[in-house]
Amino acid sequence: MFRRRFLIQTAVMPAIAAVMTACGCRGKQVAHVLKEDDGDMVGSHTAGAETWKPLIEESVGKLLARQCPDIHPVSMSNDDGPAKKRVCFMGVENKSAEELGDSREQIYDLIDTLISESEQFQLVSKRYVDAGLKECDLRPDELFVPANQRMFGSAMEKMEQPINYLLFAKVTSLSTHSNGDSQRDYQLVLELVDTETGDYDKESATIRKGYHKSRLSKFKHY
């Protein structure tokens, strides 16, 4: 009896488990269009729409709000209102522990769109920015050197795209690990540099995310 029980436990039980589970069906991929009020899916391994969208909205919103009283246009473009300040968005620098991959362009466009919708600013097209950088043989991070900035400014003017501000976006992260689980704080920093005075304004937004191997481990931490 003892031997039989051993045999059953060691051989038959895994066999039954294997056969039962093997009988399941393979999943079939489906897709659906999200409604306006549907929430964003939460990325299980990396940041996605649920992280970047609110980060962008918050940081851009804060930056625009702070800039609003400081804008004193010196000229009137037409009767409709003050001339918009021309901003040159230099792109998104990734200093986080996650690759941005195809999100980079989307982040760029979201920032671009939000700023363009504002009353105070008007963004210079990315194509002109790229052309200007290429002509001056410069990288965005080299524009903090005044001589480079001047060179870039005059190159943009030559293309009839004068600029008043440079906008830099940087993504950073802070990772905390605990027994297989982790917390990652994502920060988006926006820096607006006045090309005439060199003054700059900085705004940031942070979102914290927890990554867990299972629901149970999530429960353990939160």
Write down the least CB distance from residue 137 to other proteins, Å: 7
Does residue number 8 form part of the binding site for other proteins (CB under 8 A)? yes
Region binding other proteins by CB under 8 A among candidate stretches 16-24, 61-69, 158-166, 192-200: 16-24
Which positions from 157 through 216 interact with other proteins, judged by CB under 8 A?
A: 175, 177, 213-214
Closest CB to other proteins among 73 and 101? 101
Q: Of 100, 129, 136, 190, which lies in the binding site for other proteins, with binding defined by CB under 8 A?
A: 100
Does residue number 11 form part of the binding site for other proteins (CB under 8 A)? yes
Q: Of 86, 104, 209, 212, which lies in the binding site for other proteins, with binding defined by CB under 8 A?
A: 104
Whole-Å CA distances, 128 to 137, 138, 161:
14, 14, 8
Q: Of 13, 41, 65, 68, which lies in the binding site for other proteins, with binding defined by CB under 8 A?
A: 13
Does residue number 141 form part of the binding site for other proteins (CB under 8 A)? yes
Write down the least CB distance from residue 152 to other proteins, Å: 16
Q: At CA 113, angle to CA 112 and CA 118, rounded to 5?
A: 100
Write down the least CB distance from residue 93 to other proteins, Å: 8
Does residue number 96 form part of the binding site for other proteins (CB under 8 A)? yes
**Parallel, antiparallel or unpaired: strands 181-194 and 165-178:** antiparallel
Does residue number 9 form part of the binding site for other proteins (CB under 8 A)? yes
Closest CB to other proteins among 137 and 196? 137
Does residue number 21 form part of the binding site for other proteins (CB under 8 A)? yes
Closest CB to other proteins among 3 and 28? 3
3-state SS, the chain, equals CHHHHHHHHHHHHHHHHHHHHHCCCCCCCCCCCCCCCCCCCCCCCCCCHHHHHHHHHHHHHHHHHHHHHHCCCCCEEECCEECCEEEEEEEEEEECCCCCCCHHHHHHHHHHHHHHCCCCEEECCHHHHHHHHHHHCCCHHHHHCHHHHHHHHHHHHHCCCCCCEEEEEEEEEEEEEECCEEEEEEEEEEEEEECCCCCEEEEEEEEEEEECCCHHHHHHHC
Residues that bind other proteins (CB under 8 A): 3-15, 17-18, 21-22, 45, 93-101, 104, 137, 139, 141, 175, 177, 213-214
